[in-house]
A and B are shown apart, each in its own frame.
Chain A
Amino acid sequence: MLLLVLQEESEYTTADRVKEKMVDRATRTTLASIPLLRTKAGPRDKDAWVVRLKEEYQTLIKYVQNNKEADNDWFRLESNKEGTRWFGKCWHIHELLKYEFDVEFDIPVTYPATSPEIKLPELDGKTAKMYRGGRICLTDHFKPLWARNEPKFGIAHAMALGLGPWLAVEIPDLIEKGVVTYTQKTDS
């Protein structure tokens, strides 16, 4: 059993197991290889935030490297100098074609008590699995999982547990419905 809620095996209950089944096996394997963060600090915490931000970058770098090694590279992110605004690209391969989307989010003042709200602005209004402004609609399991694991979870975990599964479920559906169509994008 992988450490999802960072508790010992004996402390798991059936309810936990049921909830964890909602997170698929592949995601769990991925999750276990993303380092955990140490510092509980938000963007209003000045010096402590700089420490936290370094940890965020370290975990993200590790996560992207893991993805590359597993031949499952699926996003790039960067932030403003303060680390409060993040932006980049994410992509999904469907029938050998690469569908790429802009991704962005702000770090809320209450981070890491609350997770960032990941946005895919291009898809705003195209799917019901979104709140206004292109914020992806996470499952019921994401927030409890985040709450149980903050402040050890960071942006990399939000990507792995939030955006990753969302893309895997929603993009094939949107392609099938013809809402998302393939456009040739040149690598920059």
Chain B
Amino acid sequence: MSVAELQKKVKELEEELRRVKHGGAAPREKITEMSGEVVDTNPYSRLMALKRMGIVSDYEKIRTHTVAVVGVGGVGSVTAEMLTRCGIGKLLLFDYDKVELANMNRLFFQPHQAGLSKVEAAAATLESINPDVTFETHNYNVTTVDNFDHFMSRIQNGSLTGGSVDLVLSCVDNFEARMAVNRACNELSQTWFESGVSENAVSGHIQFLIPGETACFDCAPPLIVASQIDERTLKREGVCAASLPTTMGIVAGMLVQNVLKFLLNFGTVSYYLGYNALSDFFPTMIVRPNPQCEDSWCKKRQEEYQAKLAAQPPKEKEVIVEEEEVVHEDNDWGISLVDEDEPAPPPGTTSVVSGLAEGITVAYDRPAPTANTGAEEVGADDATSLDDLMAQMKAL
């Protein structure tokens, strides 16, 4: 073989090696500027076409935005993938969990990733899909004291320019983590979206939260989409939660659609959008904040918002759609806060969530702040020091 032939061969082998290394296809080069040119090689051509069609005025702006995704599971991973494919500027991913084979009924993760941390595995896949996106991963539990301050500082300083992120997306699967995200966003006055899928996998929701302006997650008991399944007949024997890739994919789609509308300023962002899979019913509504919210930061944000409103010159009537029309036809739900099997909530409970849209209910009632507390309490002025108590406990 001639030198030229050998050189050619080396080049071919190098190319093959590169392909094998990257699972078949070589990663593409980074693209410095989004172009609307319609060619096969332009990954943004169909997105930039949104401009030509008059849907979005400035699509490239997406590259300046940073979004934090908390929880990279069934909803969060798909959410992150959609944003990556849309060319978001930067993604921050938070999750403390590992990929398991038990996750394979959901989208995004693959069996060969089992055992890897979810954020690490996700970032690797996403980077190969779109190397233009900046990724920052944090493999920890945001609800613990050790991590919470760091979590807050990343929301505050994690954007491409070192400022606060544009949006936080809560894609977690438990109440504790939602409350932690809520607390962080209230303290930081950070706009965010909450999302969730029910444990029986047949309903879900997204909620848009602007501290002070809309209800925070702690303003009311969790809002859930009524599934027409009597909780008492729901079989939970032997399992904690069911999940479907369909419901999770739909909720992720609803979430990212509203994220795009918010970031790129088109259409109307839904404040609460529910999904009932059994009847294909999508209730929407807006929930106003609770002036008696248990979260002191929420109350502070409410005051700020009211002050801001008062300071504004009286413009022409503000167009706030109090309750959007529920898009459904002929729905004989009969589901509201109270149904015939479930008597009215006890008189002592607050019903802060008035005007819930049809098909949306609260997970449970809370007692009113004035509820009778005549039960025995711990001694208030116990002089025993904490150290002594700890020692006492140990000695038991």
Residues of chain B lying within 8 A (CB to CB) of residue A43 = 145
Which of the segments B18-26, B75-83, B204-212, B359-367 contacts the partner chain?
B359-367
Given contacts A12-B346, A84-B144, A113-B179, 17 further A-B contacts (CB under 8 A): A5-B367, A6-B374, A7-B371, A36-B378, A38-B380, A54-B384, A62-B378, A64-B393, A64-B396, A78-B393, A78-B394, A109-B143, A110-B179, A115-B176, A128-B240, A137-B240, A148-B365
Residues of chain A lying within 8 A (CB to CB) of residue B182 = 110
Residues of chain A lying within 8 A (CB to CB) of residue B176 = 108, 110, 114-115, 117
A14 to B342, CA, bound (A): 8
Which of the segments B30-38, B231-239, B303-311 contacts the partner chain?
B231-239
Do B372 and A8 have beta carbons less than 8 Å apart?
A: yes
A8 to B365, CA, bound (A): 16
A152 to B144, CA, bound (A): 21
User: What are some 7 contacts across the A-B interface (CB < 8 A)?
Assistant: A18-B232, A37-B377, A107-B145, A108-B180, A110-B143, A128-B238, A143-B175
A69 lies within 8 A of chain B by Cβ:
no
B379 lies within 8 A of chain A by Cβ:
yes
User: Which residues of A approach B to under 8 Å, CB–CB?
Assistant: 3, 5-8, 11-16, 18, 35-38, 43-44, 50, 53-55, 57-62, 64-65, 68, 76-79, 82, 84, 106-110, 113-115, 117, 128-132, 137, 139-140, 143-144, 147-149, 152
For B182, give the chain A residue with the smallest CB separation. Answer: A110
B218 lies within 8 A of chain A by Cβ:
yes
Do A57 and B145 have beta carbons less than 8 Å apart?
A: no
Interface range for B: 35 or more
Contact among A50, A65, A129 for B238, CB-based, below 8 A: A129
Residues of chain B lying within 8 A (CB to CB) of residue A6 = 367, 371-375
Which A-B residue pairs are the 7 nearest by beta carbons? A144-B364, A57-B389, A137-B240, A110-B179, A108-B143, A35-B378, A114-B176
Contact among B145, B232, B294, B371 for A109, CB-based, below 8 A: B145
